[in-house]
Amino acid sequence: MLIRKIKKEDNAQIAKVIRDVFIELEAPKTGTAYEDPILDTLYEVYNKENTVYFVIEHEGEIIGGSGIAPLDNGPKEICELQKMYFAPEARGKGLGKQMILKCIDFAKEVGFEKCYLETLEMMKDAQKLYQKVGFHYLDEPLGCTGHTSCPVWMMKEL
């Protein structure tokens, strides 16, 4: 399995992975990444300064991804870990930790000092992973992500 930067031709596959996770978990679609207007154009969205999106490719198929971008309407020193979703075949193989560390390394390289994330209450395994790599819980959200159905907020000092 290869972790690499997103290419334009990956857009449809990673959007499907993300939407399929929401369907699989019967997670809320409103106020989450599921209905983000940018979901079908992640290559274009993350092809900017201080942003990156990585995908996991396995045998020519995209089976997961995650990105880093400045936190919308947040302090300039804070980035956000965004759209980290994996298809079932990518889970339980240590790829989540690899992906987070790759994203964090990028964030440090471009000068971010803290990394923020939002997630769903039901995503307990993801929260455990975030804690293992140094994220801690916050009492309130930061920035203005538009993800009103994500009531779990976490931060990591870089």
- 124-155 tens-digit pLDDT: 999 999 999 999 999 999 877 765 667 899 99
Task: Say if residues 10 and 55 touch (Cβ distance below 8 Å).
Answer: yes
Q: What is the CA radius of gyration of the chain?
A: 14
For residue 46, pLDDT over 80 is answered with yes
Lowest mean pLDDT: which of 24-33, 47-56, 80-89, 104-113?
A: 24-33
The token pair that represents 3 in the structure block? 């972790």
- Looking at residue 148, what is its pLDDT? 61
Q: What are phi and psi of 26, to 5 degrees?
A: 50, 45
Q: Count of CB atoms within 10 A of residue 138's CB?
A: 14
Q: What are phi and psi of 45, to 5 degrees?
A: -65, -40
Please state, rounded to an integer, the average pLDDT across all residues of the chain: 93
Write down the domain spans for the chain: 2-157
Over the stretch 7-40, which tens digit does the pLDDT of each residue have?
A: 999 999 999 999 999 999 888 888 878 888 899 9
CATH architecture of 2-157: 3-Layer(aba) Sandwich (3.40)
- Looking at residue 150, what is its pLDDT? 75
Stretch (H or E) spanning 132? helix 124-132
For residue 156, pLDDT over 80 is answered with yes
